[in-house]
Structure 1
Amino acid sequence: MKPADSEKPGHPRLQQAAAGIVATLACALALAVGAMTTAHAAASIVIVNQNAAGVGFNDPTPATPVGGNPGTTLGQQRLYAFQQAANIWGATLTSSVPIRIGASFVPLSCTATSAVLGSAGANEIWSDFTNAPRANTWYPAALASKLAGVDIATPGEPHIIARFNSRLGLFPDCLPGNGFYLGLDRNFGDQIDLVTVLLHEFAHGLGFQTFTDDETGEEILGTPSIWDYYLLNNTTGRTWVESTAAERAASAVTWRGLSWNGARVTAAVPQVLDPMSNLAVSGAAAGSAAGNYEVGDASFGPPLANPPVQGQLMPVVDQANGTGLACDPLNALNALAVRGKVALVDRGSCDFVTKAKNVQAAGAIAMVVADNAPGDVAGMSGNDPSIAIPSVRVTQANGATLKASLQRRSRTQSGVVASLGLNTARLAGADAQGRILMYTPSIYSPGSTVSHYTTEAKPNQLMEPAINDDLTHEVTPPRDLTFPLLQDIGW
């Protein structure tokens, strides 16, 4: 799992326009002399090269063709990857107006361990244009032009602005060794598949975003986004367009606070999402800990299934404060405790894969990771084909409940039974009515909150706030729910 994007559009520059009101969401970049490429399909997508000579798409660094990408320079390969993403979206969308994406590779924020991969969004938003389905409503420029039947964008301006990190993996202070994979075949290994990132970011520019401030709940000029008609507040039962600014802001930081209420997405949810993962706790010693727990899935090891993996829950204790990190091979006492059991370990100090490898080597049949900080249910990233046991993650509060039930245990028995399986009555990432949840973590995440799907979805969706290794290049059902949402707003 890798960060997808973490930059919010800038403050809008408002202009009067003949066909309504337009707000510029991203600073327009001066067009550089360079290549234009077009995807000819149901919609025409034009990649407008906004890089200066010698950098970005024009970088002359020699490159060996890879994964179906025939480019022989770094710049050419970047452009071919953009073309591939444009081809996929062009074959999916329908519009008589060519969609212009102003694109560039530029240095973006990064460190040796984390980085902004890229960002994209509508360059302009429009309301009250010819054929607008809803009056007094913001639409992204590409969609507004499709609906109007003519290009209503400001002359010379792209519909979408997209920027990507030119330093990624190429410098020791910017995720060294984990740069963009420029092949077209998804054989990215330890790298980050650029085509997948592009498909994600282009979707934002096409309209997979709200223009209402998701932190304050304030609308631009008191005008709602087309998104706001479909964002359902699960606390009040009202959509964002029916809500106050305070209600919108509160729902954005309420776990499972928002669902998408669009007919196209909801109809497709049952064929796309899998049953929800579940941890069931029972047994004579379980006491008040007995019951079902919602869990985060691991991207490594086998997925949960029915019949469940079941065994007594036993904690790993390898720290003086009573916690068990399992970052080193388990000592004899801990190995004895977890052999043939479900191991309970604490998050922290090392990655999830290392913990799973160590408890598996000690003979555990499954792993439960208790979070080390308050928060919502979340998954676990990592990849190791040698891991053969299932793993799940529970919140810090639920972890404390489980630990309390294990206080009266012997060295090899707890009497608390953990079953890791599926809740077939619920779909992963959907609310009780079968609507997909949006990403609303209790701690506000700039650039990610609201304008993404929940991270609870299984299988992982393209429009989650992180790029997961199991994503394909598909944007439609039965694999993905990105295009149905765009259809809900008018595509």
Structure 2
Amino acid sequence: MNPLLRALAALLLCCAHALAWAAATITIVNGDPPGVGFNDASPVAPVGGNTGTTLGIQRLNAFQAAASKWGATLNSSVPIRVLATWDALPCTDTAAVLGSAGALEVFADFPGAPQRHAWFGKAETNKLIGFDADPDTPDIRARFNVNLGQPGCFTGSPFYLGLDNQHGPNTDLVTVLLHEFAHGLGFQTYTDDQSGELLAGIPSIWDYFLLDTSTGKTWKDMNNAERAASAVKSGKLVWSGVQVTNAAQIVLNAGTPILTILSPPGLAGVIQVGTAAFGPPLSTPGLTGEVMPVVDTPPDLGLACTPLSAVNALAVKGKIALLDRGVCTFVVKVRNVQDAGAIGAIVVDNVAGAPPPGLGGSDPRIVIPAVRITLEDGLALKQAIAGRTRTHSGLFANLGVNLGVRAGTDPLGRVLMYAPRPNQPGSSVSHYDTSATPNQLMEPAINADLRHEVQPPFDLTLPLLQDIGW
């Protein structure tokens, strides 16, 4: 261990704030200099159950509330120490790093390890061995954005420091803390998700449960290139742990919006979709029809930004129209194909990436369902119907909701992990997929409707920690 870090940890422990519960003790170690972060003496009024009268104390109270939640949830006889500071993290008026946290040390092949040849974070290691493996080093390092709400950093929208989750348009600090503390407790892989390289040649305990359904391999059994490729297979990367799979049956909603290709046989299967904010929601048994493309822009695009020509109108009448993103809004495109007689619309993205985002916009006159698919999937559909006639393609599909698949799982009930294309360092792999419904604490973004919950029947964070040995 670095001697300077050792000395810093020993010094900071003198001003630690601890809370104890029957299940676990979590200690917040104040690493801020005088006048900064937890030590900011700016006067503030109590808010949402947070009785602090200075900005620093209110911040500390929020940290202690999150620590209390996790402390009452986990089981460990060894105190968990979180070295926390408020720092100037990357930020603009439209995007900000709210905070980050992770294990300061990892351990493998210790006595009593539930899995040999696997890295475990320090807090979990301590729980499993029953003592602190390195008393001189805190277990978790946490940093949070001290500038949030200041000019140029979500101007006027600071963290909400109340403890009641009534955050309105602001970001709820307790929710962010619950999320980041979970990473520090082990909700992450220590393998490089971009290069696929293992830490010191040893997989994380995470990698024993991270399964690529397209290859049937877990990350521990892949080489570096296979892991790097797997990290961007949206919809194909799942968590195979029993605790999470079982809990998903009571946490996640039944029914996943989906595009099912029925024929030709060689193309049959399911395709991820982004749903529309306008028009009727997808339902079951859904809408089945023949898919026909609009072609109105050289060389082979169908933008549908103006009323359809007679040829295109004839092609899509009574069919599901296949369109391309670009130039005009989604509602204009869908309204134009609806006016031409289409019964549904599929919009193909114009940039590579997955999963497909939703379709934004509003128009109460739209009465047909619409979805977005990825550029890759769109090109595959176009190739399959390249030999079509003017009125028939032979490609039949269903736009609907598969009630046999829960929102955020694969057809076998395994929870999907976040594997976007392109890779998003710091977010990819170590979060649940954004398709989970209701929204989950450990998705890559903090959603406004999250509860201060970490376990079923509301949330899947604790079951994953239990899968890896907590």
Q: TM-score, normalised by structure 2?
A: 0.79
Residue 443 (structure 2) aligned to one of 464, 473, 478: 464
Partner of 2:64: 83
Partner of 1:261: 240
> Pairwise mapping of residues 154-193 of structure 1 onto structure 2 (< 5 A)?
154-155=135-136, 157-172=137-152, 174-193=153-172
Alpha-carbon shift at residue 400 of structure 1 (Å):
6.3
Q: Distance in 1 between matches of 2:74 and 2:11?
A: 28
After superposing the two structures, state which structure 1 stretch, 473-482 or 293-302, moved more: 293-302
Matched residue SS, 1:422: strand
Alpha-carbon shift at residue 167 of structure 1 (Å):
0.8
Asked if 1:294 corresponds to 2:271, the answer is yes
Partner of 2:106: 125
Distance 1:309 1:433, change over 3 A: closer
Alpha-carbon shift at residue 399 of structure 1 (Å):
5.1
Partner of 1:413: none
Q: Deviations over 1:100-154 (max 9, x none)?
A: 1111111001122111111110011112333222333221000000001112124
One-letter amino acid of the counterpart of residue 103, structure 1: A
Residue 97 (structure 2) aligned to one of 107, 110, 116: 116
Asked if 1:195 corresponds to 2:196, the answer is no
Distance 1:250 1:363, change over 3 A: closer
Distance 1:97 1:442, change over 3 A: same
> Pairwise mapping of residues 86-485 of structure 1 onto structure 2 (< 5 A)?
86-155=67-136, 157-172=137-152, 174-273=153-252, 274-279=254-259, 294-297=271-274, 304-306=282-284, 308=286, 370-380=348-358, 392-398=371-377, 420-485=399-464
RMSD across aligned positions (CA): 4.4
Q: Deviations over 1:290-310 (max 9, x none)?
A: 977634455967864436489
Alpha-carbon shift at residue 323 of structure 1 (Å):
8.2
Matched residue SS, 2:101: strand
Distance 1:185 1:388, change over 3 A: farther
What is the number of residues matched between the two proteins?
A: 455
Matched residue SS, 1:163: strand
Q: Distance in 1 between matches of 2:93 and 2:14?
A: 33
Partner of 2:24: 43
Q: TM-score, normalised by structure 1?
A: 0.75
Partner of 1:71: 52
One-letter amino acid of the counterpart of residue 227, structure 1: W
Structure 2 stretches of 5 or more lacking a match?
Answer: none
Q: Distance in 1 between matches of 2:460 and 2:451?
A: 12
Preserved contact between residue 338 and residue 366 of structure 2 (Cα < 8 Å): no
Query: Kindly, what percent of the aligned residue pairs are identical?
Result: 52
Q: Distance in 2 between matches of 1:378 and 1:279?
A: 12
One-letter amino acid of the counterpart of residue 479, structure 1: F
Matched residue SS, 1:266: helix
Preserved contact between residue 369 and residue 392 of structure 1 (Cα < 8 Å): yes
One-letter amino acid of the counterpart of residue 202, structure 2: T
Matched residue SS, 2:415: coil
Matched residue SS, 2:116: coil
Asked if 1:53 corresponds to 2:30, the answer is no
Alpha-carbon shift at residue 381 of structure 1 (Å):
9.2
One-letter amino acid of the counterpart of residue 213, structure 2: N
Q: Deviations over 1:416-469 (max 9, x none)?
A: 999753112323332332211222223221111211122222222221212222
One-letter amino acid of the counterpart of residue 188, structure 1: H
One-letter amino acid of the counterpart of residue 119, structure 2: W
Q: Deviations over 1:353-411 (max 9, x none)?
A: x8669989x99999865423112233449899x99987643223455688999x9999x
Structure 1 stretches of 5 or more lacking a match?
Answer: 1-12, 16-23, 411-415
Q: Distance in 1 between matches of 2:264 and 2:222?
A: 42
Distance 1:90 1:252, change over 3 A: same
Q: Distance in 1 between matches of 2:370 and 2:20?
A: 42
Alpha-carbon shift at residue 224 of structure 1 (Å):
2.2
One-letter amino acid of the counterpart of residue 259, structure 1: V
Partner of 1:18: none
One-letter amino acid of the counterpart of residue 114, structure 1: A
Q: Distance in 2 between matches of 1:57 and 1:303?
A: 46
One-letter amino acid of the counterpart of residue 373, structure 1: V
Alpha-carbon shift at residue 80 of structure 1 (Å):
1.8
One-letter amino acid of the counterpart of residue 350, structure 2: N
One-letter amino acid of the counterpart of residue 143, structure 2: R
Preserved contact between residue 331 and residue 361 of structure 2 (Cα < 8 Å): no
Preserved contact between residue 378 and residue 455 of structure 1 (Cα < 8 Å): no
Matched residue SS, 1:467: coil
Preserved contact between residue 56 and residue 75 of structure 1 (Cα < 8 Å): yes
Q: Distance in 2 between matches of 1:43 and 1:399?
A: 51
Matched residue SS, 1:455: coil
Matched residue SS, 2:217: coil
